[in-house]
Amino acid sequence: ATPAATMVGTSIGAKNGVLFKGGDVLERAKDVDTVVFDKTGTLTTGEMELTDVVPLDGTRTATDGGSGTVADGGMQAFEGRSESDDEIGEETVLRTAASAESGSEHPLAQAIVAGAEEHGIDLADPTEFENVPGQGVRATIDGEEVLVGNRKLIRDSDIDPAPAEDELERLEAEGKTAMLVARGGALLGLVADADTVKESAKEAVGALHDRDLAIHMITGDNERTAEAVAEEVDIDPANVRAEVLPEDKAAAVEEIQSAGSRAMMVGDGVNDAPALATAYVGTAIGSGTDVAIEAADVTLMRDDPLDVVKAIRISDGTLQKIK
Protein backbone atom coordinates (compact mmCIF):
# COMPACT_ATOMS: atom_id res chain seq x y z
CA ALA A 1 0.00 0.00 0.00
CA THR A 2 1.07 3.56 -0.55
CA PRO A 3 1.99 5.64 2.50
CA ALA A 4 -1.22 7.58 1.95
CA ALA A 5 -3.35 4.41 1.98
CA THR A 6 -1.60 3.30 5.14
CA MET A 7 -2.38 6.61 6.77
CA VAL A 8 -6.03 6.35 5.77
CA GLY A 9 -6.30 2.79 7.09
CA THR A 10 -4.59 3.68 10.34
CA SER A 11 -6.89 6.63 10.87
CA ILE A 12 -10.07 4.67 10.01
CA GLY A 13 -8.84 2.13 12.53
CA ALA A 14 -8.29 4.77 15.21
CA LYS A 15 -11.80 6.15 14.66
CA ASN A 16 -13.15 2.64 15.16
CA GLY A 17 -11.10 1.89 18.24
CA VAL A 18 -8.80 -0.43 16.26
CA LEU A 19 -5.16 0.55 16.82
CA PHE A 20 -2.57 -0.88 14.42
CA LYS A 21 1.03 -0.77 15.62
CA GLY A 22 2.39 0.41 12.30
CA GLY A 23 1.85 0.12 8.58
CA ASP A 24 3.19 -3.42 8.23
CA VAL A 25 0.61 -4.72 10.71
CA LEU A 26 -2.15 -2.98 8.80
CA GLU A 27 -0.88 -4.78 5.68
CA ARG A 28 -0.62 -8.20 7.35
CA ALA A 29 -4.07 -8.35 8.90
CA LYS A 30 -5.81 -8.93 5.54
CA ASP A 31 -3.71 -12.08 4.94
CA VAL A 32 -4.91 -13.78 8.10
CA ASP A 33 -6.64 -17.10 7.32
CA THR A 34 -7.14 -18.30 10.89
CA VAL A 35 -8.40 -16.63 14.03
CA VAL A 36 -7.51 -18.07 17.44
CA PHE A 37 -9.56 -16.82 20.37
CA ASP A 38 -8.70 -17.02 24.03
CA LYS A 39 -11.90 -17.88 25.94
CA THR A 40 -12.01 -16.05 29.26
CA GLY A 41 -12.19 -12.28 28.94
CA THR A 42 -12.08 -12.50 25.15
CA LEU A 43 -15.17 -14.46 24.04
CA THR A 44 -16.65 -14.14 27.53
CA THR A 45 -16.90 -11.05 29.70
CA GLY A 46 -14.51 -12.52 32.25
CA GLU A 47 -16.77 -11.18 34.97
CA MET A 48 -17.13 -14.32 37.01
CA GLU A 49 -19.87 -14.99 39.48
CA LEU A 50 -20.12 -17.69 42.08
CA THR A 51 -23.01 -19.97 41.09
CA ASP A 52 -22.70 -23.20 43.09
CA VAL A 53 -21.38 -24.48 46.38
CA VAL A 54 -21.52 -28.24 46.79
CA PRO A 55 -20.43 -30.04 49.96
CA LEU A 56 -19.13 -33.59 49.65
CA ASP A 57 -19.68 -34.93 53.10
CA GLY A 58 -19.71 -38.57 52.22
CA THR A 59 -23.20 -38.98 53.59
CA ARG A 60 -24.74 -37.70 50.42
CA THR A 61 -24.62 -39.46 47.12
CA ALA A 62 -24.30 -37.63 43.86
CA THR A 63 -27.63 -39.02 42.75
CA ASP A 64 -29.84 -37.62 45.49
CA GLY A 65 -30.81 -34.69 43.36
CA GLY A 66 -27.86 -32.54 44.23
CA SER A 67 -29.41 -31.33 47.47
CA GLY A 68 -26.22 -29.57 48.40
CA THR A 69 -26.26 -27.52 45.27
CA VAL A 70 -26.81 -23.82 45.41
CA ALA A 71 -28.53 -22.89 42.20
CA ASP A 72 -27.84 -19.86 40.05
CA GLY A 73 -28.86 -16.46 41.21
CA GLY A 74 -30.03 -16.91 44.70
CA MET A 75 -28.16 -19.34 46.85
CA GLN A 76 -31.23 -19.43 49.05
CA ALA A 77 -30.10 -22.78 50.34
CA PHE A 78 -27.82 -20.83 52.65
CA GLU A 79 -30.44 -18.93 54.49
CA GLY A 80 -31.53 -20.48 57.73
CA ARG A 81 -29.45 -23.58 57.23
CA SER A 82 -27.59 -24.73 60.29
CA GLU A 83 -24.63 -27.03 60.24
CA SER A 84 -24.11 -29.88 62.58
CA ASP A 85 -20.62 -31.05 63.45
CA ASP A 86 -20.82 -34.27 61.54
CA GLU A 87 -21.99 -32.73 58.32
CA ILE A 88 -20.06 -30.47 56.06
CA GLY A 89 -22.34 -27.75 54.79
CA GLU A 90 -22.24 -25.12 52.10
CA GLU A 91 -21.03 -22.54 54.53
CA THR A 92 -17.95 -24.53 55.50
CA VAL A 93 -17.08 -25.19 51.88
CA LEU A 94 -17.52 -21.56 50.88
CA ARG A 95 -15.68 -20.15 53.91
CA THR A 96 -12.77 -22.52 53.34
CA ALA A 97 -12.55 -21.80 49.62
CA ALA A 98 -12.92 -18.05 49.96
CA SER A 99 -10.38 -17.81 52.79
CA ALA A 100 -7.82 -19.63 50.66
CA GLU A 101 -8.62 -17.48 47.61
CA SER A 102 -8.49 -14.18 49.50
CA GLY A 103 -4.86 -13.72 48.48
CA SER A 104 -5.45 -14.37 44.78
CA GLU A 105 -6.25 -11.79 42.13
CA HIS A 106 -7.57 -14.36 39.69
CA PRO A 107 -11.15 -13.56 38.51
CA LEU A 108 -12.21 -17.05 39.65
CA ALA A 109 -10.88 -16.28 43.13
CA GLN A 110 -12.42 -12.83 43.31
CA ALA A 111 -15.85 -14.25 42.46
CA ILE A 112 -15.56 -16.80 45.27
CA VAL A 113 -14.53 -14.14 47.78
CA ALA A 114 -17.34 -11.81 46.63
CA GLY A 115 -19.84 -14.66 46.93
CA ALA A 116 -18.75 -15.35 50.50
CA GLU A 117 -18.94 -11.68 51.41
CA GLU A 118 -22.47 -11.48 49.99
CA HIS A 119 -23.45 -14.17 52.44
CA GLY A 120 -21.86 -12.38 55.35
CA ILE A 121 -19.28 -15.10 55.82
CA ASP A 122 -16.21 -14.06 57.81
CA LEU A 123 -13.00 -15.17 56.17
CA ALA A 124 -9.93 -16.54 57.89
CA ASP A 125 -6.48 -15.17 57.02
CA PRO A 126 -4.25 -17.82 55.50
CA THR A 127 -0.87 -18.06 57.21
CA GLU A 128 0.66 -19.33 54.00
CA PHE A 129 -0.44 -18.80 50.44
CA GLU A 130 0.75 -20.09 47.09
CA ASN A 131 -0.65 -19.38 43.67
CA VAL A 132 -0.32 -22.37 41.31
CA PRO A 133 -0.71 -20.86 37.82
CA GLY A 134 -3.25 -22.60 35.62
CA GLN A 135 -4.30 -24.87 38.51
CA GLY A 136 -5.46 -22.99 41.60
CA VAL A 137 -4.26 -21.99 45.04
CA ARG A 138 -2.70 -23.69 48.04
CA ALA A 139 -3.04 -22.05 51.46
CA THR A 140 -2.60 -22.85 55.11
CA ILE A 141 -5.63 -22.00 57.26
CA ASP A 142 -5.82 -22.78 60.96
CA GLY A 143 -2.83 -25.07 60.55
CA GLU A 144 -4.42 -27.12 57.78
CA GLU A 145 -3.53 -27.19 54.12
CA VAL A 146 -6.37 -26.00 51.88
CA LEU A 147 -6.44 -26.49 48.12
CA VAL A 148 -8.84 -24.85 45.68
CA GLY A 149 -8.46 -25.65 42.03
CA ASN A 150 -8.70 -28.17 39.27
CA ARG A 151 -8.23 -31.95 39.20
CA LYS A 152 -4.50 -31.67 38.56
CA LEU A 153 -3.92 -29.52 41.64
CA ILE A 154 -5.78 -32.03 43.79
CA ARG A 155 -4.07 -35.07 42.25
CA ASP A 156 -0.64 -33.49 42.64
CA SER A 157 -1.32 -33.42 46.38
CA ASP A 158 -2.15 -37.13 46.35
CA ILE A 159 -5.87 -36.61 46.85
CA ASP A 160 -8.22 -38.60 44.63
CA PRO A 161 -10.71 -36.29 42.87
CA ALA A 162 -12.92 -39.25 41.84
CA PRO A 163 -15.64 -38.80 44.52
CA ALA A 164 -16.33 -35.34 43.07
CA GLU A 165 -16.30 -36.43 39.43
CA ASP A 166 -20.09 -36.62 38.92
CA GLU A 167 -20.65 -33.16 40.36
CA LEU A 168 -17.66 -31.78 38.42
CA GLU A 169 -19.01 -33.09 35.16
CA ARG A 170 -22.52 -31.85 35.85
CA LEU A 171 -21.28 -28.29 36.53
CA GLU A 172 -18.84 -28.30 33.61
CA ALA A 173 -21.54 -29.44 31.19
CA GLU A 174 -23.39 -26.25 32.19
CA GLY A 175 -20.36 -24.26 31.00
CA LYS A 176 -19.29 -23.43 34.53
CA THR A 177 -15.76 -23.57 35.91
CA ALA A 178 -15.97 -26.03 38.77
CA MET A 179 -13.21 -26.09 41.38
CA LEU A 180 -12.42 -28.71 43.96
CA VAL A 181 -11.96 -27.70 47.58
CA ALA A 182 -9.79 -29.88 49.82
CA ARG A 183 -8.76 -29.44 53.45
CA GLY A 184 -6.32 -31.43 55.52
CA GLY A 185 -5.74 -33.96 52.75
CA ALA A 186 -9.41 -34.72 52.06
CA LEU A 187 -11.99 -33.44 49.61
CA LEU A 188 -14.47 -31.04 51.21
CA GLY A 189 -16.60 -30.07 48.23
CA LEU A 190 -16.81 -27.97 45.12
CA VAL A 191 -17.44 -24.40 44.16
CA ALA A 192 -18.33 -23.20 40.67
CA ASP A 193 -18.08 -19.85 38.91
CA ALA A 194 -19.73 -18.89 35.67
CA ASP A 195 -18.92 -16.30 33.12
CA THR A 196 -21.15 -14.78 30.44
CA VAL A 197 -20.47 -15.10 26.73
CA LYS A 198 -20.14 -11.62 25.21
CA GLU A 199 -23.22 -10.47 23.35
CA SER A 200 -21.50 -10.10 19.98
CA ALA A 201 -19.22 -13.15 20.23
CA LYS A 202 -21.44 -15.40 18.14
CA GLU A 203 -22.01 -12.74 15.49
CA ALA A 204 -18.25 -12.12 15.27
CA VAL A 205 -17.48 -15.83 14.82
CA GLY A 206 -20.24 -16.00 12.18
CA ALA A 207 -18.79 -13.05 10.25
CA LEU A 208 -15.34 -14.66 10.35
CA HIS A 209 -16.79 -17.95 9.10
CA ASP A 210 -18.45 -16.00 6.27
CA ARG A 211 -14.97 -14.85 5.29
CA ASP A 212 -13.88 -18.53 5.22
CA LEU A 213 -11.49 -18.14 8.12
CA ALA A 214 -10.71 -21.11 10.35
CA ILE A 215 -11.67 -20.38 13.95
CA HIS A 216 -9.94 -21.88 16.98
CA MET A 217 -10.19 -21.44 20.73
CA ILE A 218 -7.48 -21.90 23.36
CA THR A 219 -8.16 -21.90 27.09
CA GLY A 220 -6.72 -22.97 30.41
CA ASP A 221 -10.22 -23.99 31.42
CA ASN A 222 -11.35 -27.62 31.28
CA GLU A 223 -12.56 -29.45 28.18
CA ARG A 224 -16.27 -29.56 29.00
CA THR A 225 -16.60 -25.90 29.98
CA ALA A 226 -14.60 -24.92 26.90
CA GLU A 227 -16.83 -26.97 24.62
CA ALA A 228 -20.00 -25.55 26.14
CA VAL A 229 -18.77 -22.04 25.32
CA ALA A 230 -17.51 -23.07 21.87
CA GLU A 231 -20.90 -24.52 21.06
CA GLU A 232 -22.62 -21.35 22.16
CA VAL A 233 -20.59 -19.22 19.74
CA ASP A 234 -20.38 -21.79 16.90
CA ILE A 235 -16.75 -22.80 17.11
CA ASP A 236 -16.09 -26.40 16.00
CA PRO A 237 -15.25 -28.50 19.11
CA ALA A 238 -12.45 -30.08 17.05
CA ASN A 239 -10.77 -26.65 17.06
CA VAL A 240 -10.88 -26.24 20.82
CA ARG A 241 -7.72 -26.69 22.89
CA ALA A 242 -8.56 -26.84 26.59
CA GLU A 243 -6.47 -27.14 29.76
CA VAL A 244 -3.61 -25.35 28.05
CA LEU A 245 -1.16 -24.08 30.66
CA PRO A 246 -0.24 -20.39 30.42
CA GLU A 247 3.29 -21.23 29.23
CA ASP A 248 1.92 -23.54 26.52
CA LYS A 249 -0.43 -21.10 24.80
CA ALA A 250 2.30 -19.84 22.45
CA ALA A 251 3.19 -23.42 21.47
CA ALA A 252 -0.48 -24.05 20.69
CA VAL A 253 -0.50 -21.07 18.32
CA GLU A 254 2.72 -22.34 16.74
CA GLU A 255 1.11 -25.73 16.19
CA ILE A 256 -1.92 -24.13 14.54
CA GLN A 257 0.42 -22.13 12.28
CA SER A 258 2.70 -25.10 11.56
CA ALA A 259 0.78 -26.06 8.42
CA GLY A 260 1.56 -22.64 7.01
CA SER A 261 -1.55 -20.82 8.11
CA ARG A 262 -1.39 -17.22 9.21
CA ALA A 263 -3.17 -16.81 12.53
CA MET A 264 -4.55 -13.82 14.32
CA MET A 265 -4.49 -14.58 18.05
CA VAL A 266 -7.01 -12.57 20.07
CA GLY A 267 -6.50 -12.40 23.83
CA ASP A 268 -6.76 -10.19 26.87
CA GLY A 269 -4.63 -11.60 29.64
CA VAL A 270 -1.05 -11.63 30.86
CA ASN A 271 -0.93 -15.33 30.03
CA ASP A 272 -1.87 -14.58 26.41
CA ALA A 273 1.13 -12.31 25.79
CA PRO A 274 3.55 -14.96 24.44
CA ALA A 275 0.81 -16.34 22.18
CA LEU A 276 0.06 -12.84 20.88
CA ALA A 277 3.75 -12.38 20.09
CA THR A 278 3.93 -15.76 18.31
CA ALA A 279 0.89 -15.27 16.08
CA TYR A 280 1.16 -13.74 12.58
CA VAL A 281 -0.98 -10.95 14.04
CA GLY A 282 -1.45 -10.58 17.80
CA THR A 283 -4.57 -8.71 18.86
CA ALA A 284 -5.24 -7.49 22.40
CA ILE A 285 -8.88 -6.92 23.21
CA GLY A 286 -10.67 -4.49 25.47
CA SER A 287 -9.39 -3.57 28.86
CA GLY A 288 -6.68 -6.15 28.27
CA THR A 289 -3.70 -6.07 30.58
CA ASP A 290 -0.75 -3.82 29.68
CA VAL A 291 1.40 -6.89 29.10
CA ALA A 292 -1.02 -8.19 26.46
CA ILE A 293 -1.28 -4.79 24.78
CA GLU A 294 2.51 -4.50 24.69
CA ALA A 295 2.90 -7.92 23.06
CA ALA A 296 0.13 -7.27 20.53
CA ASP A 297 0.26 -5.84 17.00
CA VAL A 298 -3.31 -4.60 17.15
CA THR A 299 -5.25 -3.26 20.12
CA LEU A 300 -9.02 -3.25 20.12
CA MET A 301 -10.03 -0.42 22.44
CA ARG A 302 -13.55 -1.68 22.92
CA ASP A 303 -14.38 -5.00 24.46
CA ASP A 304 -16.23 -6.09 21.32
CA PRO A 305 -15.26 -9.26 19.39
CA LEU A 306 -16.87 -7.73 16.26
CA ASP A 307 -13.90 -5.38 16.13
CA VAL A 308 -11.78 -8.40 15.15
CA VAL A 309 -13.77 -8.47 11.90
CA LYS A 310 -13.38 -4.70 11.61
CA ALA A 311 -9.60 -4.94 11.95
CA ILE A 312 -9.44 -7.40 9.06
CA ARG A 313 -11.84 -5.36 6.94
CA ILE A 314 -9.89 -2.15 7.52
CA SER A 315 -6.77 -3.99 6.40
CA ASP A 316 -8.31 -5.32 3.19
CA GLY A 317 -9.91 -1.98 2.43
CA THR A 318 -13.54 -3.13 2.60
CA LEU A 319 -14.24 -0.93 5.57
CA GLN A 320 -14.18 2.57 4.19
CA LYS A 321 -14.12 5.91 5.85
CA ILE A 322 -16.40 6.41 8.80
CA LYS A 323 -16.74 9.96 10.00
Q: Does 134 bind ligand ADP (CB under 6 A)?
A: yes
The one catalytic residue among 38, 52, 193, 297: 38
Q: Which stretch binds ligand ADP (CB under 6 A): 10-18, 146-154, 295-303, 305-313?
A: 146-154
Interface with Mg ion, residue 177, by CB under 5 A: no
Stretch that binds ligand ADP, among 6-14, 101-109, 168-176, 209-217 (CB under 6 A): 101-109
Cα dihedral sign for 96, 100, 103, 108? Answer: negative
Q: Which region, judged by CB under 5 A, interacts with Mg ion, from 27-35, 37-45, 89-97, 250-258?
A: 37-45
**Has 38 been annotated as catalytic?**
yes
Pick from 109, 154, 275, 298: which binds ligand ADP (CB under 6 A)?
109
Contact partner at residue 177 from ligand ADP, Mg ion, none, CB < 5 to 8 Å by partner kind: ligand ADP
41 binds Mg ion, rule: CB under 5 A = yes
CB of 43 to Mg ion, least distance (A): 9
Q: Does 49 bind ligand ADP (CB under 6 A)?
A: no
Contact predicate 144/75, CB 8 Å: no
By residue count, the chain amounts to 323
Among positions 32, 113, 123, 137, the unique one binding ligand ADP when judged by CB under 6 A: 137
Looking at residue 154, what DSSP letter applies?
A: H
Q: Which does 108 bind (CB under 5 to 8 A by kind): ligand ADP, Mg ion, none?
A: ligand ADP
Judged by CB under 5 A, does residue 269 bind Mg ion? Answer: yes
Smallest separation, CB 209 to ligand ADP (Å): 23
Can you give the chain as a three-state secondary structure string? CCHHHHHHHHHHHHHCCEEECCHHHHHHHHHCCEEEEEHHHHHECCCCEEEEEEECCCCCCCCCCCCCCCCCCCCHHHCCCCCCCCCCCHHHHHHHHHHHHCCCCCHHHHHHHHHHHHCCCCCCCCCEEEEECCCEEEEEECCEEEEEECHHHHHHCCCCCHHHHHHHHHHHHCCCEEEEEEECCEEEEEEEEECCECCCHHHHHHHHHHCCCEEEEECCCCHHHHHHHHHHHCCCHHHEECCCCHHHHHHHHHHHHCCCCCEEEEECCHHHHHHHHHCCEEEEECCCCHHHHHHCCEEECCCCCHHHHHHHHHHCCCCCCCC
Among 34, 40, 150, 177, binds Mg ion (CB under 5 A): 40
Using CA atoms, how far apart are residues 243 and 221, in angstroms rounded to an integer?
5
Q: Site residues for ligand ADP, window 268-297 (CB under 6 A)?
A: 269, 271
Q: Show the binding pattern over residues 232-261: x = contacts ligand ADP (CB under 6 A), - = does not.
A: --------------x---------------
Q: Of the ranges 36-44, 88-96, 170-178, 288-296, which one interacts with Mg ion (CB under 5 A)? A: 36-44
Q: Which residues make up the interface to ligand ADP (CB under 6 A)? A: 39-40, 101, 104, 106, 108-109, 134-137, 148-150, 177, 179, 219-221, 246, 269, 271
Binding site for Mg ion (CB under 5 A): 38, 40-41, 268-269
Q: Which residue numbers are catalytic?
A: 38
